[in-house]
Amino acid sequence: MTMTITIALDLEGTLISDETTRIPRPGLYDFLEACKELGRVMIYTMVDEETAEEITLELSSKGFAPNWFSGVEWVDWFSHDTDFKDLDLIRGSDAKHAILVDDHLGFVKPGQEHIWIPINFFYPQDSNDAELENALWKLKRKIKKLTGKPVDVSWPGDKDKKLQELQDEIDDLLLDNIELQKEKDKLTQIILEDE
């Protein structure tokens, strides 16, 4: 039996800068295409649906995202009374078959940390941003773990094996030590508020 994984993607700070400036993160097009190959793609955002639809349409019409992205599915968060991006709220799926990619730990429902792929907040001024590439690699590893599917988890590009192993260890450490991740998240929020 094949198991379809739903990949729930945050919008602001993850795929784009924010809903006002709408700057696409480097590697967005390829990241979305790769996600589409790995599973069902949905957007999980606090941006209201009308604005979010406008953003996805804009991104695909400008060529920053594939065509299908303008009609991407949404997780209906607003009609549920919760502060968390609960993966059990995904229509036709549940937390056993879903993964969240998000820059903000505060939205992760306690108990669902293991199905969350942390990604650093996107600063458009950082021209070396390769977070989507990193997130894709983590996503593949996670999907392989969850489904047992023969997903190619080799590090993209020509980064060496040692770095791959190191990333692997850091990833596991952060997941094992959610307190550490919370600290990092808190610091990021402080920096953002200062700007």
How far, in Å, CA of 192 to CA of 195, rounded? 5
Cβ 11 to Mg ion shortest distance, Å: 7
74, containing H or E segment: strand 73-74
- Residue 6 in contact with residue 97, Cβ under 8 Å? yes
Q: How far is CA 169 from CA 74, 136, 166, 173, 177, in A?
A: 32, 16, 5, 6, 12
Binding mask 44-83 for Mg ion (x = CB under 5 A): ----------------------------------------
Q: Count residues contacting Mg ion (CB under 5 A)?
A: 5
Residue among 63 and 106 whose Cβ is closer to Mg ion: 106
Q: Which residue is nearest to Mg ion (CB)?
A: 13
Residue placing its CB nearer to Mg ion in the complex, 98 or 185: 185
Q: Which of residues 92-121 bind Mg ion (CB under 5 A)?
A: 103-104
**Do 120 and 103 meet the contact criterion of CB atoms below 8 Å apart?**
yes
User: Judged by CB under 5 A, does residue 185 bind Mg ion?
Assistant: no
Told to check if 10 binds Mg ion by CB under 5 A, we report yes
Pick between residue 10 and residue 131 the one whose CB is nearest to Mg ion.
10
What DSSP element (H or E) covers 118? strand 116-118
User: Hey, what are 108's tokens?
Assistant: 């992760």
Binding Mg ion by CB under 5 A: which of 5, 6, 13, 97?
13
- Nearest-angstrom CA–CA distance, 186 and 169: 22
The helix (H) or strand (E) run that includes residue 41 is: strand 40-43
Residue with smaller CB distance to Mg ion, 46 or 178: 46
- Interacting residues with Mg ion (CB under 5 A): 10, 12-13, 103-104
